[in-house]
Amino acid sequence: MATIPSMMQAIAVVNPGKDSKLVIEQRPLPQPGPEQLLIKVAAAGINRADLMQRRGAYPPPEGESDILGLEVAGVVIAAGPQHKSWLGKAVFGLVPGGGYAEYALLHAGHAMVVPAGYSMAEVAATAEVFLTAYQLLSSIGNSQPGQHVLIHAGASGVGTAAVQLAKAIGCKVAVTTSSDDKLELCQKLGADILINYKDVAFEQELSKHWPDGVDIILDPVAGDYIRREIPLLKMDGKIVIYAMMAGRDVPDLDMAPLFKRRGQIICSTLRNRTNSYKTRLTQAFYQAYGQALAQRQIQPVLQQQFHWHQAEQAHQLMASNRTKGKLVLTF
Nearest residue to 319 (alpha-carbon basis) of 128, 94, 47, 121: 47
> Tens of pLDDT along the chain (331 residues)?
568 999 999 999 999 999 999 999 999 999 999 999 999 999 999 999 999 999 999 999 999 999 999 999 999 999 999 999 999 999 999 999 999 999 999 999 999 999 999 999 999 999 999 999 999 999 999 999 999 999 999 999 999 999 999 999 999 999 999 999 999 999 999 999 999 999 999 999 999 999 999 999 999 999 999 999 999 999 999 999 999 999 999 988 999 999 999 999 999 999 999 999 999 999 999 999 999 999 999 999 999 999 999 999 999 999 999 999 999 999 9
Last residue within a domain, chosen from 240, 267, 294: 267
Domain that holds residue 214: 130-267
181 in the same domain as 89: no
Domains identified in the chain, total number: 2
139 in the same domain as 263: yes
158 in the same domain as 107: no
76 in the same domain as 110: yes
- DSSP character for 233? E
54 in the same domain as 13: yes
Q: For residues 264 and 259, give the distance between their C-alpha atoms in angstroms, rounded to a whole number.
A: 9
287 in the same domain as 235: no
Q: For residues 99 and 77, give the distance between their C-alpha atoms in angstroms, rounded to a whole number.
A: 16
The answer as to whether 208 is a domain residue is yes
68 in the same domain as 99: yes
Last residue within a domain, chosen from 267, 287, 313: 267
The answer as to whether 160 is a domain residue is yes
298 in the same domain as 189: no
This prediction's pTM:
0.96
136 in the same domain as 106: no
Q: Is 150 helix (H, G, I), strand (E, B) or coil?
A: strand
Predicted pLDDT of residue 3:
85
CA distance to 12, 228, 235, 252, 262, per residue, from 256 (Å): 47, 13, 13, 12, 10
Q: For residues 319 and 331, give the distance between their C-alpha atoms in angstroms, rounded to a whole number.
A: 22
The answer as to whether 69 is a domain residue is yes
Helix (H) or strand (E) holding 113: strand 112-113
Last residue within a domain, chosen from 236, 267, 298: 267
Report CA 237 to chain centroid distance, whole Å: 23
21 in the same domain as 115: yes
Give the domain CATH number at 107: 3.90.180.10
Predicted pLDDT of residue 201:
98
Q: Which amino acid is at 10?
A: A
Q: Is 276 helix (H, G, I), strand (E, B) or coil?
A: helix
160 in the same domain as 94: no
The answer as to whether 1 is a domain residue is no
Predicted pLDDT of residue 2:
63
Q: Are residues 130 and 161 in contact, defined by beta-carbon separation less than 8 angstroms?
A: yes
